[in-house]
Structures are given as structure tokens and as C-alpha cells.
Structure 1
Amino acid sequence: MTLTLRFEDGTVRAVSDDAGSTFAEIADEYAFLEADERTGGYRAPAYRYADLRGALDDRGADYRDRVLDTEPLSLSTRYQLREYQQAALDAWHDAGDRGIVELPTGAGKTVLAIAAMAELGVPTLIVVPTVDLLDQWRRELEAEFDTAIGQFGGGEQRREAITVSTYDSAYLKADNVGGQFGLVVFDEVHHLGGEGYREIARLLAAPARLGLTATFERPDGAHEAIADLVGPRVYTLDADDLAGEHLAEYEIRRIEVDLTPEEREAYEEAQGTFVDYLKRSNISMQRGSDYQELVKRSGRDPEAREALLAKQRARRIVREADRKVDELGRLLDRHRDDRVIVFTASTDLVYRLSERYLLPAITNETGAAERREILDRFRSGEYSRVVTANVLDEGVDVPDANVGVLLAGSGSEREFTQRLGRILRPTDDDSRALLYEVVSEETAEERVADRRR
């Protein structure tokens, strides 16, 4: 009896010269393997390839494995892993070269992935959320490995034994390259929770899978699907675990400012309209689905629409309060010798602050070349401060800073963790990093600030 595994159309086909009794036994035990009436054999989703191979090995089956069309690579790295990085890599190996590593921003997740690539020596696909990260990874890999680096995204579609891809391009390519990589690295792996992006992991046969993130869990619970596709969380540390030795010591200071009388009147009116509707409609806003329900109702109910617009007005008032803008001026003056990143929640406020305090601005409207120029000048010290909305939260290589000012943000723990991480890289003088939260007092923003902590 000859058993053969091969890759075809995003699935692993399992065929044999007889009735396939071994495959039938596995199919009875594992739901991922099912009979294929078209071929008379069996099939499994590509991402279950490692599970199928393990089941065959457990039974001592003699089989031909033709799933991966790859050749071994000779890779070496100059990096010396820190103790926690080595512990994370060991935990990943112990889990069968599958799983999620959760480390704070600045802790060297890229270094960890490069070490994994060097140890396995197999063709590797690295999947990243943005073109900025794609460029960053490609530069790092070209500097580390003496081999051509392929790229899917950013205007290029060229496959090499080591290839970097955006999530969008990987979604389009996965069906065609599913059998050509032995390792897949998902950077910012929480993005894989999106229903469309999950297909990337499903269509790749790569038995080795490494997910990297600073914040694995998602409010929608999609991290459970990610764990099924990539592997469980095998190692986790947060900023407090590494502060003082590998990351900067840090302090978070909350500054509360009052609204002006005009802002207070407008806020109370708008917030009152919103809260009154919630009471009448029995919507508690305790879950994300509650907000979606309000949005859904606003399409057919004028009162729901007015409540939604009122909430948006109230949020804008507290996020862009005049005394927040004044407080930023005092903080910039206090930290004139520091490197400062100012975070906001709206593009309009970014430009308002940029004009008032002559701050270089980065928004989603900023072109890639201009953004690189601003960050390069920030890195060189020509600029000592920059203001942004959400663009620098993740997916961009941000130069070292030691002071962050959070003028406005969401209640997302992920957003808060990522923004904090932007100021935690250790400095030569071992100075303490500072993150200021400027909050409009006696408003819903206080609860938002508490929640993201």
C-alpha cells in the first residue's frame, strides 16, 4: 500500500493505492480529514497538514509527502537573543513550532522571528499589515541574510524563498503559493482575526507557524480562531515585565482639564440626548454589539440617528477641548529637551495642533515619502516632536521617543498598549519614559480612560 500526500487548490489531498484504510481510520478520529468522492481519496484543509502528518507518523504509516515544494535554506544570524527571547523561542519549539508570542512593542519580536527562520532553515513567508512594515522587514532581512528577498505588495509581486507580504496581498496569493513555504510568520497576528484574512492561514500548508503581537486578545473573541489557525499563545510578557532592564522604566500621569463653559453646555446637551435615548430603548452600551445595534437602528429611526449624532458631537467636544490644547503647550514647554509624540483621535485636531505649535504632522493623508522624511528627521534629532492620529499606533517603524502625550483615544487596551510602547525603547542615559493622559474631567472620557487601562 502506498500513501501519498499532495497539495492541491488550498487543500492537502490524501490518496492511496488501495481503499485507504489508514486514511479512513484517521478520518474516523479527526474531523479535519474527510472523504473526497471526486477522487476516491481524502482531503484536509491546508492548515491541517501538520496534524495529518502527525497522525500518520503516530500510526507508523509509510507515506510519500509531496505537499511542500521547497528546498532547505542555509541561514545564519548575527543576533544574540536576550534571555526572554530565547525562552519565547524555546516555548514555540516545545509547542511543535506553532503558536503566538506576545511581547511589548520594542521587545525585539522581529529578532525572535529571524532566529526561528535561521534555526528551521525553510522557505518562509512573513505577513505584515502595512506597506511600511513590509519595507522595514525587507530591509532587515536583506541586511541579515545573504539571499534575495521576495515581496508581495507595495507595487511588487515577486516570490523568493524568503518573501514578505502584506495581509491584503497574501489573501490574494495564498491559494497559489500554499505549498511553497515551510514557515509562515504573522506579524501583528491579531489582524488575522478578520474573517477574510483567516483564509491566508487556512490556505497555507506551512507546518511551522509563528504569530507575533503586543496584544493578542481581541474584544470580538476572534483570537480563539487565530489560535486554531496558528497555534496557542505559548509565551507572553508585558511592558512591566521588561521595564528597567530591556525596556525603559515608565510612568503614566493623568492630567484632568475642565471644559470651558460653552463646551460644557454643548457637551451636556449632546450627552443628555444620547443617554435619554438609551434609557428609552433599553440599550446599555455594555458591549460592542450594543453600539452596532444603535448604528443599525439609526438607519430607520430618526431618534436613534439623532442620538448617534449627539454622541459623536459629545465625543468631539471632549477630545478636542480647548484646555487640552492649552495643556499640550505647557507640556511641550516642559519637555523642550525631550523627544515627544503627541497622539490624538482625529485628523482635524492633528492639523490644529500642527498649526498652533508648529509640529510635524502625520495622518492617513500623509504620503509615504513625506511620512518617511518626517520620521527620518525625528530619528536624526532635527525634529524633536511629532503629532499624529492613529497612523503610528502600529505597522510603522517609529524612532525612539521618551515622552508621549495622549490627548484623545479610544477605550481600546490594544491602542493604549501600542502607544505606550512607542516610548519604551531604552536610552543611553536610562531616563524614565513618561506618558501623559490628558482627560476632560466629569465627562464620559474619564470612563474611557479607565477602561483602556
Structure 2
Amino acid sequence: MPAFSAATTYSRAVGYFTSTSLALYARGIEQFVARGGSMRLIASPHLDEGDIADISHGYSVREVIARATIRELEGIENDRVLDGLGQVGRLIADGHLDIKLAFVVRDNRIGIYHEKIGVFRDEYGDLVAFTGSSNETLGGLVANFESVEVYRGWTQSDGARALRLESDFEELWADRTPMLSVEPFPDIARERLIEIGRERPNAVLTAREDALEHRPTVVTEPRRLAPPATLAPREYQRSAVEKWLRNRGRGFLAMATGTGKTKTALFAATAVGNVLREREQPLILLILAPLQHLVDQWIADVQAFGVTPIPVYESSTRWVPLVEDQIAQARLGQRPIVALIATNASFAGSKFQEILNRLTLPLMVIADEAHNLGSPQYRASLPANAIFRLGLSATPERWHDEIGTHELFEYFGPIVFELGLGEAIEMGALCRYTYHPRLIELNAQETELYTDLTTKIARCIAAGESPDDADPNSPLGFLLRERAGVTGHATGKLAALRLDLETHRSDWFQLIYCAEGTRPTPQGEERGPNQLAEVMRLAGKELGISAHQYISQTSRSDRKVLLRRFASGNDLQALVAMRCLDEGVDIPDAQIGYLLASSSNPRQFVQRRGRLLRRAEGKDRAEIFDYLAVPKSGAPIDFDVERTLLIREIERANEFGKLSENYGETLDTLRPLRDKYHLMDL
């Protein structure tokens, strides 16, 4: 204000200008204008992604800028903003203000003009020049932490610097600065501002105090990724990030479920953001997750690192405008990071792919449970322009899909860091556990169906097909699923489960995993009962355990409520799941698990074990019950075929048992089966 009160000219070049900043020095401007003072302003236009693309494709720069500038002036309803624009319009109409717009043009790319210099001159020819970090905004002038260097033209030490800044401005105004394009303010926008000035003739911004009344609405610079003060990376997480960075920001982290892959990935993204910050480049962070509830969990984690991400799922009308707007801000230097968290389905959709294909900013992709992206549709959608690529998975290899596995490693890179379950337990990242395998003999009807299916499977194997790499949609794949259904729904499992639940009927934090679908029956007969319904009746009605089902049809809002009730430790004792509570669901309080489903997919049982081994306050160990169905003794089944099929079950049980606190129990339970089928070497 003192400078305005004495000056006759003011020249300002700044990245960002808002008309409401005039309120801060309104009294000074009154005196400035009364002496016939004139202002020249150079600022950056507000170009969105479409504007930049049009300029890059050869459209008239002036037309694009005119369109962008008038767009900024349309639809404004805030009286305070309109008052400021009205004052700008009156200054233009009275010949006291001239405006030009500047932006960077280099290598066919459009960037933001981000310099900040200013020059005052008075009627005697003295000048004051300044340069610094603050924009010509309320936040830049009042609320933010900024630094400004001021040079007085009449002193020997400052004079040369002050004249240099003035010369820099004159070069800018004349559009003679290399790599910059300085365009006149569009006539159509100039007329619109003058019109606003006429519409609001009585709007007077007379006091600095008036501007300060609105300080809570000042928007400061968007935050960068930074871990919360209470979170420090563990040594193995630091090592994982370092190894990933050494591999040029490419690769998989094959870390056991529950060891903090999410936090490790965000530490990596923070490191990348810091590097790009030194280069004055933004980061577009794209996080992919297979399911919506995992997106919701990632949102909470990213927010803890100081950035509010955009969820990309459901209706594109909700997220497309936000994504486009934030990317445009990043391109213009106004946003250091854009965080997008998408479900795999929305990521592969045409709307999001169109945005990715236009993206030229530094892009980092984090893929949670990355093995899910190995299908032809998803891997074809992975952005080739991603500079940094991080795959997360306890088991990166896709089961029975060598091509998909190979393509994922081609895209993300090799496994750069591996933390197995045993090592994680040993170092205390996961809790210790006991394992109790239960061998359940099929009844007569189940054995008959099991034998019939096994005979058909044997014919497929004899014809050259392999159960290890069978197509799930092939006849062999169908037979294998039906056979797994027989063992998974074995009636004897409910009796064994009853005995184990009775010993824990007063305990909390229990998970029960049920077999999928309904119990298989001979062809032509009605399908058998649903195991989940049977378990709910057993646990809830017969044993009095407070339990609730948790299935794919459970809504996202209901899932959050159920997990909150479960974690309270005084409301819900057990969750009964079918095809849920596997990948990514964070329930560290779970202590006791019952595995009725007998999937031989290693990923499923690794995920389920991982759910139970996460550390939590007051939890020092977990307990796992695993129900393994075997044919009735003496069943007429081809020995070699049955041996081949049982290998998976025994390997799974042995894998669970060898890291447990009671491995001897597993060996004792499995010894008769291993001896009978000559599998003692497993």
C-alpha cells in the first residue's frame, strides 16, 4: 500500500492472479489512480487439458486462450469475486490496467508461466523492484509462508538488480523472452470484465480488513505426499523401496499378506514425488485395485499421507470432471500430485483409457493384487506411458496362466523384493499361529459322486490333459470344480466345525470361510443346501454365537458397519464369508479362522492365512482350523489319479503346518494319508 500510494506505474508478472487480491491494497490503488497511475499485468491463462491439446495440434493460440479466459468469467456467482472482477473491469475501462497472458512453449509442450516479479516507479523516476515466491492472491499476500526480495533502485547495492528485473519485465511485455509466448488479453474477455464493472458500480473493496474476513476460504498450495509424523518405515520397507528405485522404478514387491505392502508402496510414491519436485514436475499417481472396498481402503491410506485422491469407479460423470480438472492443474504447475484410485474394471473402461492415452505427465502405476491384471483385457489396458511401475502381490504368479504371468513381469518388471511368511513371522511383522488340520471322510453318497467325477477326470488325464493347467471353462475344468465342490461341501465338515466352535463359543474375532455355491449332487438331482446358510444356523441358532454373513452381495456400506462391529470386540463374534474376506480386506483383529472351503489355489489360502496373521493390539497369536475332505476308505478310485489329486491338499496343509507353532500336529495328522499314497517326501 505505501508503494501504491507513491507510485505512478506498477508492472507485475506473476503465475497466478486473483482479482480479490486488490482488496488488500484498495486504498493505495485509489491514490494511484487519482495520480493517473497505470498498471501492466502478465499472468498465466487457465488452460485445461483440452485447451493444451488443441494448441499442441495447431489450433489458433489466440482463439484457444480467448475461449479459456471467457470460460473462467462465466457462471461466477460469488459476490466477492464479482466485486473484484468489477474493479478490474473499471481499471481497464478507465485506461489504468492492461493485461497480457504468458505460457511456456517448448518441444511442442505447453507449460505454466511461473515467474513472479514486480516493479514500481514514481514520478521522479525512482523504482522499487521485487521478486519472490508469492502470487498476486490473498493467500500469497497474507496467509501463506512466502519470501520476497526487494531492491531499491536509488541505492548502489540494489540498483543494478532493480533495473535487471525491470528489463526482464519489458522483454516479457514485448514478447521477446525465449521459450515464452506472451499474448494480448482477449478482446472478448476484456469486454466482459468492463461489462461486469458497469454492472457493479457501487462495489468497493476499501479495506484490508474486509479481505481478511474471508481468510478461511483461501486455498493454499495442494499438499504433496508425505508420511504422517507417527509413521516411520520399517527396515524391510525401506529396503524394498530402495531396491525398487535401483531397478529404475520398476518391479514387484512380493510381500506376505499383512506385512504392509500398501504403506511400502506409498513410501515409494513419496520418494518419486520428491525426485520430481526437484525437477519441478508433477506426479500422476494411479493406484489400481480389484474391488471397490479396496479402493476405499486405499483412499484412507493416501489421505493419511496428506493427499486427497479421486476414486475412479461407478458413474464416470462423477469422476471424469475431477480427473480432467486436476490433470490440467498439474500440467500448468498448480498441483504437484494427482492421485487416482481406480477399480480394475473402471481403469480398463473406455472413459479412463481415453484420459490415460492423452497423458504426457510423469505417471506412476501401483497395482494392488497385481496378479488380477494378467487377463488379456486388463494387461492390454496397462499404460505404456507409465514411467514408474510397482506391482504388489503376495503371490505374483497367476495360477495356471503362464502367459498372463509372463506378460505381467514384462510390464512391471521382476520381483525386486521378497518377504516370505516365515521371515515376516520371525521378524515380528506377522503374529505366530497354531494350525489344526482336520481330515474329514466323505459319506457314502459323497464318495460315490466323488468316485464318478474322479473317473471322468482320469479319462481326461489319459487323453493328455493336465489338471495343473486346465482351462477353467474346459470339460476338465468343470469336473475339477465339481469335485472340489463335493469335498468343500462335505457333510462331515459341519460336525467337525461344531466341535471346534463349541470350544470357542465365548471367543471374539472369529472368521469362518465357507465353500462357494451349493452342495453338488448327481446329474439330474436338485442341488444340495448352501453351506453358508448351514453354518449360520449352526453358529447363531444352535451355539448362540453372534455371527453375521459377509458375502459378495453385502453392500459396501453394510460391509463397513460389519467390520466396525467385528473390530469392537463386544458386538459381533464371527463373520461367515463366502468368496469374500480374501484379497486386501484389513481385519487385523481376527484371531481364529475356520477354513471349510478346500480351494487348491495357493493364492486363496495364502490370502486367508494372511487375514489372520496381521498384528493388532493385544493379539500375540492366531489359531487356524483347516477341514480337509478325503474319500471313504476302500472307495474304488484309480490310485494314481487319486494320488495326483490329493497332492495339492497335502501340500496346502503342509505349507500351513510347517510355519506354525505346532508343526508336529500337522505331521501326525497327515502321516496316514501320506503313507497310504506314497507321499512321505512332501
Pick the TM interval, shorter chain.
0.7 to 0.9
Tell me if structure 2 keeps the 8 A contact 1:92–1:99. Answer: yes
Deviations 1:405-450 (A, max 9, x none): 1112321111111011000112444532222211112376744422
Tell me if structure 1 keeps the 8 A contact 2:256–2:420. Answer: yes
State the SS of the aligned residue for 2:613: coil
Tell me if structure 1 keeps the 8 A contact 2:364–2:387. Answer: yes
In structure 2, how many angstroms separate the alpha carbons of the residues matched to 1:214 and 1:67?
42
In structure 2, how many angstroms separate the alpha carbons of the residues matched to 1:378 and 1:114?
27
Is 2:393 aligned against 1:205?
Answer: no
Find 1:323's aligned residue among 469, 489, 492.
492
Structure 1 residue 402, shift from structure 2 partner: 1.4
Would the alpha carbon gap of residues 176 and 84 (structure 1) be closer, same or farther in structure 2, given more than 3 Å must change? same
Would the alpha carbon gap of residues 74 and 326 (structure 1) be closer, same or farther in structure 2, given more than 3 Å must change? same
- Correspondence 1:143-162 to 2 at 5 A: 143-145=304-306, 147-155=307-315, 156-157=318-319, 158-159=322-323, 160=326, 161-162=338-339
State the SS of the aligned residue for 1:256: strand
Match of residue 509 from structure 2 = 339
Match of residue 422 from structure 1 = 611
- Correspondence 1:172-183 to 2 at 5 A: 172=349, 173-178=352-357, 179=359, 180-183=361-364
In structure 1, how many angstroms separate the alpha carbons of the residues matched to 2:501 and 2:566?
15
Tell me if structure 1 keeps the 8 A contact 2:588–2:612. Answer: no
Structure 1 residue 251, shift from structure 2 partner: 3.0
- Correspondence 1:329-408 to 2 at 5 A: 329-336=498-505, 337-347=507-517, 348-358=530-540, 359-381=547-569, 382-408=571-597
Tell me if structure 1 keeps the 8 A contact 2:484–2:598. Answer: no
Tell me if structure 2 keeps the 8 A contact 1:184–1:209. Answer: yes
Would the alpha carbon gap of residues 137 and 273 (structure 1) be closer, same or farther in structure 2, given more than 3 Å must change? same
Find 1:107's aligned residue among 259, 263, 287.
259
Is 2:286 aligned against 1:125?
Answer: yes
Deviations 1:225-271 (A, max 9, x none): 11211221100111111104111012332111222344334433x33
Find 2:344's aligned residue among 149, 167, 176.
167
Match of residue 192 from structure 1 = 373
Is 2:295 aligned against 1:134?
Answer: yes
Would the alpha carbon gap of residues 263 and 75 (structure 1) be closer, same or farther in structure 2, given more than 3 Å must change? closer
Would the alpha carbon gap of residues 124 and 316 (structure 1) be closer, same or farther in structure 2, given more than 3 Å must change? closer
Find 1:411's aligned residue among 578, 590, 600.
600
Find 2:456's aligned residue among 274, 285, 290.
274
Structure 1 residue 137, shift from structure 2 partner: 0.8
In structure 2, how many angstroms separate the alpha carbons of the residues matched to 1:148 and 1:312?
43
Would the alpha carbon gap of residues 355 and 143 (structure 1) be closer, same or farther in structure 2, given more than 3 Å must change? same
| Stretch moving more, 248-257 or 185-194 | 248-257
Structure 1 residue 371, shift from structure 2 partner: 2.2
Query: Which amino acid counterpart does residue 176 of structure 1 have in structure 2?
Result: I
Find 1:89's aligned residue among 235, 241, 244.
241
Q: Determine which structure has greater relative contact order: mean sequence separation of CA pairs < 8 Å that are 6+ residues apart, divided by chain length.
A: 1
Match of residue 236 from structure 1 = 418
Deviations 1:94-151 (A, max 9, x none): 1011111111111111111111122221221111111001111112212321x43212
In structure 1, how many angstroms separate the alpha carbons of the residues matched to 2:305 and 2:472?
47
In structure 2, how many angstroms separate the alpha carbons of the residues matched to 1:205 and 1:238?
32
In structure 2, how many angstroms separate the alpha carbons of the residues matched to 1:419 and 1:372?
19
Match of residue 223 from structure 1 = 405
Tell me if structure 2 keeps the 8 A contact 1:103–1:236. Answer: yes
Structure 1 residue 283, shift from structure 2 partner: 4.3
With normalisation by structure 2, the TM-score equals 0.51
In structure 2, how many angstroms separate the alpha carbons of the residues matched to 1:446 and 1:325?
21
Query: Which amino acid counterpart does residue 515 of structure 2 have in structure 1?
Result: A
Structure 1 residue 341, shift from structure 2 partner: 0.9
Find 2:443's aligned residue among 254, 260, 281.
260
Query: Which amino acid counterpart does residue 148 of structure 1 have in structure 2?
Result: T
Query: Which amino acid counterpart does residue 82 of structure 1 have in structure 2?
Result: R
Structure 1 residue 312, shift from structure 2 partner: 5.5
In structure 1, how many angstroms separate the alpha carbons of the residues matched to 2:441 and 2:355?
57
In structure 2, how many angstroms separate the alpha carbons of the residues matched to 1:131 and 1:355?
29
Find 1:432's aligned residue among 608, 615, 621.
621
Tell me if structure 2 keeps the 8 A contact 1:132–1:397. Answer: no
Deviations 1:330-354 (A, max 9, x none): 1112223242111122142112211
In structure 2, how many angstroms separate the alpha carbons of the residues matched to 1:207 and 1:249?
39
Structure 2 unaligned regions, length at least 5: 1-48, 51-105, 115-221, 274-282, 327-337, 518-529, 541-546, 633-641, 656-682
- Correspondence 1:438-453 to 2 at 5 A: 438-442=627-631, 446-452=646-652, 453=655
- Correspondence 1:265-304 to 2 at 5 A: 265-268=448-451, 270-271=452-453, 273-275=455-457, 277-278=459-460, 282-289=463-470, 292-294=473-475
Tell me if structure 1 keeps the 8 A contact 2:430–2:615. Answer: yes
State the SS of the aligned residue for 1:209: strand
| Stretch moving more, 97-106 or 167-176 | 167-176
Query: Which amino acid counterpart does residue 420 of structure 2 have in structure 1?
Result: D
Would the alpha carbon gap of residues 238 and 68 (structure 1) be closer, same or farther in structure 2, given more than 3 Å must change? farther
In structure 1, how many angstroms separate the alpha carbons of the residues matched to 2:586 and 2:110?
36
With normalisation by structure 1, the TM-score equals 0.75
Would the alpha carbon gap of residues 409 and 80 (structure 1) be closer, same or farther in structure 2, given more than 3 Å must change? same
In structure 2, how many angstroms separate the alpha carbons of the residues matched to 1:408 and 1:253?
15
In structure 1, how many angstroms separate the alpha carbons of the residues matched to 2:110 and 2:463?
55
Calculate percent identity across the aligned residue pairs.
27
Query: Which amino acid counterpart does residue 425 of structure 1 have in structure 2?
Result: R
In structure 1, how many angstroms separate the alpha carbons of the residues matched to 2:389 and 2:481?
41
| Stretch moving more, 76-85 or 432-441 | 432-441
Would the alpha carbon gap of residues 289 and 275 (structure 1) be closer, same or farther in structure 2, given more than 3 Å must change? closer
Structure 1 residue 365, shift from structure 2 partner: 2.2
Tell me if structure 2 keeps the 8 A contact 1:68–1:181. Answer: no
In structure 2, how many angstroms separate the alpha carbons of the residues matched to 1:228 and 1:196?
16
In structure 1, how many angstroms separate the alpha carbons of the residues matched to 2:551 and 2:356?
34
Structure 1 residue 208, shift from structure 2 partner: 1.1
Structure 1 residue 67, shift from structure 2 partner: 11
Number of matched pairs: 376
Higher-Rg member (1/2): 2
Structure 1 residue 162, shift from structure 2 partner: 1.0
| Stretch moving more, 175-184 or 440-449 | 440-449
Structure 1 residue 66, shift from structure 2 partner: 4.8
In structure 2, how many angstroms separate the alpha carbons of the residues matched to 1:165 and 1:83?
29
Query: Which amino acid counterpart does residue 557 of structure 2 have in structure 1?
Result: A
Would the alpha carbon gap of residues 282 and 90 (structure 1) be closer, same or farther in structure 2, given more than 3 Å must change? same
In structure 2, how many angstroms separate the alpha carbons of the residues matched to 1:254 and 1:312?
22
In structure 1, how many angstroms separate the alpha carbons of the residues matched to 2:264 and 2:111?
24
State the SS of the aligned residue for 1:360: strand
Tell me if structure 2 keeps the 8 A contact 1:339–1:401. Answer: yes
In structure 1, how many angstroms separate the alpha carbons of the residues matched to 2:244 and 2:535?
45
